Structure formats: C-alpha cells, structure tokens
Amino acid sequence: MQGKTASHLRYEGVVFDLDGTLVDSYAAITECYNHACTSLGQPAVSPETVRGLVGHGLESLMEDAVGPAQVVRAVALFRERYDVICEERTTLLPGVAGTLPRLAAGGLRLGVATNKPTRFAVRILRALGLMPPVRAVLGPGEGIPPKPRPEMLLKVLADLGVSRRQALYVGDMEIDIETARRADVDVWVVPTGSCSRSQLMAASPDVLLGEFADLQRLLGVRAAAGTDRS
C-alpha cells in the first residue's frame, strides 16, 4: 500500500469501478472493438493497444478509431457483438470473489459506478455472482454523464444511503481518481487495469493498493474463520 495511512479510516459504503477493478473484460472489449473497426474498413489492433485506450466511454473509444462520421454505427456494431459475448468473455480479477462478500458481511454497502452501460454491467455482475453483494449499479445515460463527471458516483451513493464523507471509491485509472475528487470522495486505486503503478501514483490517489484483497484488512473487516484470500 502507498498513500496516506488508512488503518484509522472508517467507511459505510464502497463504490467500485468495474473494468480493470473488479473484472477483466479486455478480451471481450478487444473482440468487439476489432469487429466494429474491421466492419468499417479500419485495421484490427492488439489487446495491449485496446487496453491502453479504454476507460473514457465507448463513444470516445470508437470515435478515436473510426472518426466522428462513423461513430454511431461503430458503437452499434460494438454493442451488438458485446451483447453476445460479454458474460462468457469476462472474468473476475484476483481477490474480488472472496473480498466483496466479506466487505458486505462486515456491514459495508457496496455499489458500482462505471462508464459501461448499466444493462451490461448488471448482466456481468450477475453472471459472475456479485449481485449481491453489490447493491447499486450505474453507468452513463438518462441524464447521467460519464466519468469523470461526478454525478454517477454521487447517484450510486444516494442509492446506497451513504454520504460522500462516509464513502470510498475504488478504481484502476486516473479517470477514477479525477471522478472521486470532483465528488469530494476518498479514492483508492489498484494497478490491475489500464494504468501502471507510476501513472496512478502521479495522479495522487489517497491509497495505492498492492492487491485487491488488501481492501479487507485496510477497511478493518475481520475475516471469518476458515476463509482465504481468493
């Protein structure tokens, strides 16, 4: 862990980013990105390239790839393919499956605020067995702008009944840090997504986690007898 001392902090709710924080969705995103690009006459790219591009919303991702004139069609092509493969080609990141139920059992209210559309986020979380413990999920749309605007995070906190002073946001990118700062919410990050440890440290999070499972200890949640760190 790097950042300010966290052992004394107490929160009532934790909101998470999704891609790169809770789940590895890069295989699905890469397949859909390349499907849209090649359908519109653009070259396919590597998963490593896509990994460095995601995080700012699908419209931004596809506009950079195909240009503004074709972005609407590209988004439609991406989502048509994603609708088919999003569940089977998305996996939990290490430590998530064991940690989230323990945080919830310890009394924390858990939510997700993501730039992925809500319907896809809910489907993935349900397929991976995270609803519950996740109780509120929101992506952009219907008056909610994408991150780094703070409205999405604040709406999830309202749905959870948690004030910003009693809340923590956990993400994997600089955009998550910026979102939390705009919402006046503490932010911790984990280097399991599109940003390196050095990039995350340069963005000045409150805490840079060594691994996702560190959340349980740092949030003061006791492990039940016989549990592990899976």
Q: What is the pLDDT of residues 60-98, one digit of tens each?
A: 888 888 889 999 999 999 999 999 999 999 999 999 999
Query: Model pTM greater than 0.85?
Result: yes
Residue 158 CB coordination number (10 Å):
13
Residue 142 confidence (pLDDT) above 50? yes
pLDDT computed for residue 168 by the predictor: 97
CB 194 within 8 A of CB 52: yes
Task: Name the architecture of domain 26-85.
Answer: Orthogonal Bundle (1.10)
pLDDT over threshold 50, residue 4: no
On the question of pLDDT at 180 being above 60, the answer is yes
Q: Are 114 and 55 in contact (CB under 8 A)?
A: no
Confidence of residue 51 (pLDDT cuts 50, 70, 90): confident
Average pLDDT, the chain: 90
User: What average pLDDT score do residues 179-191 get?
Assistant: 97
pLDDT for the residue numbered 9 = 55
Architecture of domain 2-24+91-218: 3-Layer(aba) Sandwich (3.40)
Query: What is the pLDDT at residue 224?
Result: 56
Q: What does the pLDDT average to over 33-45?
A: 92
So where are the chain's domains? Answer: 2-24+91-218, 26-85
